[in-house]
Amino acid sequence: MPNIVLFSGSSHQDLSQRVADRLGLELGKVVTKKFSNQETSVEIGESVRGEDVYIIQSGCGEINDNLMELLIMINACKIASSSRVTAVIPCFPYARQDKKDKSRAPISAKLVANMLSVAGADHIITMDLHASQIQGFFDIPVDNLYAEPAVLQWIRENIAEWRNCIIVSPDAGGAKRVTSIADRLNVEFALIHKERKKANEVDRMVLVGDVKDRVAILVDDMADTCGTICHAADKLLSAGATKVYAILTHGIFSGPAISRINNAAFEAVVVTNTIPQEDKMRHCPKIQVIDISMILAEAIRRTHNGESVSYLFSHVP
C-alpha cells in the first residue's frame, strides 16, 4: 500500500507489530523517551510528508503518559505535513467518565476528545467504546469497531454446549450488547441489576432471567477490579447455572482483579488483546485471549483505500 505509514506508541507494541505484519508493512521509526523531569520526548524517524499516517496507542498501563505520548506523536506528524493522521486507540482512555452523574463531576471523555482534535487527529479508530455516545464528543469521524463477531466465533468454537447457553449482562448498561449476541446465537439472555454504594464497590445484585441447568456466559465491555463479574458469577452459580464463562473486550484487571478471578468459579475469562495480557496470563491460568489485530488491520486497510468499514461490524476478517 503506497503513501501509508504505521507508527506504534509505547503502550502496546505487540498489538502494533501484529497489525503491521497483517498489513505487510514495517512499523515506522519513532523514538519515544522521557527527559529526566519525566517530560515525554518523541522523535519521528522518517518522512511523513503527504503520507496517510496511523498511530496505534491503547489507553492502558500508564494511561496519562501514554495519552500525552499519543497527542505529541499526532502533533509531530501533523506539523510535518502528513496528509491525514488517524489515531488507532483500541481501548479509549477515560471512557467511563462520559456524563455528569453527580454535581461538579467532569466529563473527561469529552476533554480527551477535544485534546485529540486539537493535537491534529483527522480520524479516530477505536473498539467497543464504553458508551457509543462518545462518538458524538468528536467533530471528526470516529469508527467504533466491535469485538462481537470475534466473540461469537470464540463461543461457537470453544464452548461445546453453546446451543444451551444463556448470555448474561452483569449490569443494565450492557443489556443492548448482550441482546445482540443472544439474538445472533439464537439463545436467551438474562441480566443482573446491581446497586452501587460507591465506585468500584457493588452493594447488592438481583438476577432477572432463568439460568437453571445452563451454561452462563457473562459479557461486558470492560472489567477493571472484577468485583462485579466475580459477584455475578457467584450469583449465577447459586441460581443453578452449570458453568460460568466471562467474555470481556477490555481486560484492565487492576488492583485485586487477578486474585479475585483465581478465587472465582469461572471456567475461563476471555478478553481481547486491546490491552497487553501476557503478564496477567502468567499469574492467572483462567485468562484466555482473542486476538483482534486482524480487525484493526482490516479497518486501517479499508480506511486507507476509501472502502466501507461496516462489513467489520458483523464479520471477522
Identical fold between 4-145 and 148-290: yes
| Closest to 56 measured CA to CA, from 295, 230, 278 | 295
State residue 62 phi and psi, 5-degree precision.
-80, 85
Characterize 71-109 residue by residue with b for buried, 16 or more Cβ atoms within 10 angstroms of its Cβ, and e for exposed. bbbbbbbbeeebebbbbbbbbbbbbebbeeeeeeeebeb
The model's pTM: 0.94
Contact 63, 3 (CB under 8 A): no
- CATH number for 148-290 (one of 3.40.1160.10, 3.40.50.2020, 3.90.180.10, 3.40.630.10): it is 3.40.50.2020
- Calculate the alpha carbon distances from 58 to 8, 22, 63, 95, 124 in Å: 10, 18, 9, 12, 12
Mean pLDDT of the chain: 94
pLDDT digits (tens, 9 = 90+) for 52-95: 999 999 999 999 999 999 999 999 999 999 999 999 999 999 99
CA atoms within 13 A on the CB side of 150: 23
Question: From the centroid of its chain, how far is CA 145?
Answer: 9
Mean pLDDT of 166-174: 91
Assess if CATH 3.40.190.10 describes domain 4-145.
no
Q: What span, in angstroms and rounded, lies between the C-alpha atoms of 260 and 279?
A: 16
Q: Confidence band (pLDDT; 50, 70, 90) for 26?
A: very high
- Sorted by where each begins, the domain ranges of the chain are 4-145, 148-290
pLDDT digits (tens, 9 = 90+) for 174-232: 899 999 999 999 999 999 987 767 777 767 888 999 999 999 999 999 999 998 899 89
pLDDT digits (tens, 9 = 90+) for 92-142: 999 999 999 999 999 999 999 999 999 999 999 999 999 999 999 999 999
